[in-house]
A = this chain, B = another copy of it.
Amino acid sequence: MPSYRAPVEDVLFLLRDVLGFHSRDNLPGFADASPDVVEAVLTEGGKLADTVLAPLNLSGDQEGCRRNADGSVTTPKGYKAGYDAYAEAGWMGLSVPEEFGGQGLPHTLNTAIQEFVSGANLALGMYPGLTQGAIAALLVHGSQEQKQTYLPKMVEGAWTGTMNLTEPHCGTDLGLLKTKAVPNGDGSYSLTGTKIFISAGEHDLSENIVHLVIARIEGAPAGTKGISLFVVPKFLVNEDGSVGARNGVSCGSIEHKMGIHGNSTCVMNYDGAKGWLVGEENRGLAAMFVMMNEARLAVGVQGLGQSEVAYQNALAYAKDRLQGRALTGAKAPEKAADPIIVHPDVRRTLMGIRAFNEGARALVLWTALQSDIAHRSPDAKERQAADDHLGLMTPVVKGVLTDKGFANAVEAQQMFGGHGYIEEWGMSQFVRDARIAMIYEGANGVQAMDLIGRKLPKDGGRAMMAFLGEVQTFIKDHGEDEAMKPFTAPLQASLNDLQGATMWFMQNAMANLDNAGAGATDYMHLLGLVAIGYMWGRIVKAADANAAAGTGDKAVWEAKRTLGRFYMERMLPETALRLARIKAGAETTMALPVEAF
């Protein structure tokens, strides 16, 4: 059976030595997150993931969810206990303000825990994950009354949350949505319509489900300008805050999916369901985007989590499975064959996944830290810079970490040969589960368009200029250091590719917007490659310093250097290919008339 061990040590190293987490004590919540507290929090979170959630992963996949005749949904055996363990330990509100029952700790820590939970059990982790997204939206856009009504219950995990966007005929293009909201005259609305692909839409884990739903108020403008956001509880809430009558919303069916079988993906029927406006009329999409941006980062983290668990199991297999002999002579002559980890093609796979995971983890935590700074810093300029970073990197974290997370799960599965294809080994599940992360919360092509169409040109390209400047400064600061040259030289070459691509878009996208669209996915990956490359530069710098200071285990710091070099030599050069594709432009991509397809 597959297993999982949360990468607690790596997160501690990144926060402490690479990202300067503990130098942020001026921010609210950070002073409480002393090194001891952080270590305790991560260790506890890791333990939950390893010992409670991970053991439910394979069985949850095999059992799946079941919709009963009365419309209720039964989750797999053990899910309720797993969810309760999560909720009771207070993880839901880790970074939620204390006034709503949370702990007010940095979101960065919550992000680390999200990786652990996603790696251990993606399908189960989605129930609290969606709830955290709904909490975030209500925190920003909910009225004081709405916050008081819903947040404490959600933070304690007694109620869960969902987001209802997609309809049968529209996903990406929400302007087409048809769900209607009719004012009841008492401040509430009656919602009618069908939503599909609603994760955690119905289940047996919580006593109430708080649906956040976008709909069109009668008479609202067409398109995205007429969309409003509503909160629609499964059970209406009584004056005293207790659960009341059943609302007019129900689960019509659950989907038969490729993966995440333990999560109920529901068709939700709104049949005159009572809802309340969240935020302003016709400004629902903006409100929903708060939730979606939070969710997009979390989905990127899911990609990383699946990549990590797939890696760990492939590594265990590579050390255990005896097959063939090393090209350079037997390494385990006393055995019938060598463990397959001696084979360079197996090593290449393991090194590639691990180099990605550790660099991507740094990128995720760095971005989460910027999110904390953007929301908590007293310095407006610092807030703006952090918000710029957050906006720029959100599509990259979502798109690149899920694309690569899936690809890595496939590579890890490959290492098992035929056994990887057999469900009992669990590798197939990692692949099938990881697949969804490339799709939901905006398919990765949409992320790429968000990056190139919105985030890149915003404020005259300020966010990208700042990123390019920061990486350039790092190279300049360390470029004369012989020990850093194997890192700064390739990083400079790839930074040039990124600058070249950015310049090319500036010169060619205005003339033909298709030139931007045709290169968007390549650009997203190009930026991801450079960002992770920059992380590796900083990781190695910190690891070298630790080695020089005699801190910790020298072998660990040496491994960081080797992994960093592997990244620079074998992975980062992909930027040149991405640039070549971008510069090819849209011409051949768009040349065929539709009839010629």
Contact = CB atoms under 8 A, between A and B. Distances in A.
Contacts of A337: 173, 176
A570 B581 contact: yes
Contacts of A414: 438-439, 443-445
A344 B344 CA distance: 38
B562 A592 contact: yes
Contacts of A63: none
A197 B418 contact: yes
A90 interface: no
B445 A421 contact: no
Contact of A431 (B258, B347, B422): B258
Interface stretch (A22-30, A282-290, A511-519): A511-519
A1 interface: no
Contacts of A423: 256-258
B424 A256 contact: yes
A347 B562 contact: no
Interface string A317-348: 00100111001100000001101010111111
A562 to B, nearest CB: 5
State the oligomeric state as a number of copies: 2
A198 to B, nearest CB: 10
A171 interface: yes
A345 B445 contact: yes
A596 B555 contact: yes
Contacts of A420: 439
Contacts of A463: none
B570 A324 contact: no
Nearest to A347: B589
Contact of A418 (B171, B350, B421, B432): B171
Contacts of A590: 344, 347
Given A337-B173, A345-B449, A421-B257, A514 B328 contact: yes
Interface in A541-581: 555-556, 558-559, 562-563, 565-566, 569-570, 573-574, 576-577, 580-581
A514 B329 CA distance: 11
A489 interface: no
A172 interface: yes
A120 B479 CA distance: 56
Contacts of A559: 592, 596
Nearest to A436: B421
A546 to B, nearest CB: 15
A245 interface: no
A166 interface: yes
Contacts of A432: 258, 432
A196 interface: yes
A435 B562 CA distance: 31
A586 B566 CA distance: 10
A417 interface: yes
B597 A350 contact: yes
A371 interface: no
A192 to B, nearest CB: 20
Contacts of A591: 562
A176 to B, nearest CB: 6
Interface string A125-148: 000000000000000000000000
14 contacts: A176-B323, A255-B421, A257-B423, A258-B428, A258-B432, A327-B517, A339-B594, A346-B445, A347-B589, A347-B590, A349-B445, A569-B584, A569-B588, A576-B577
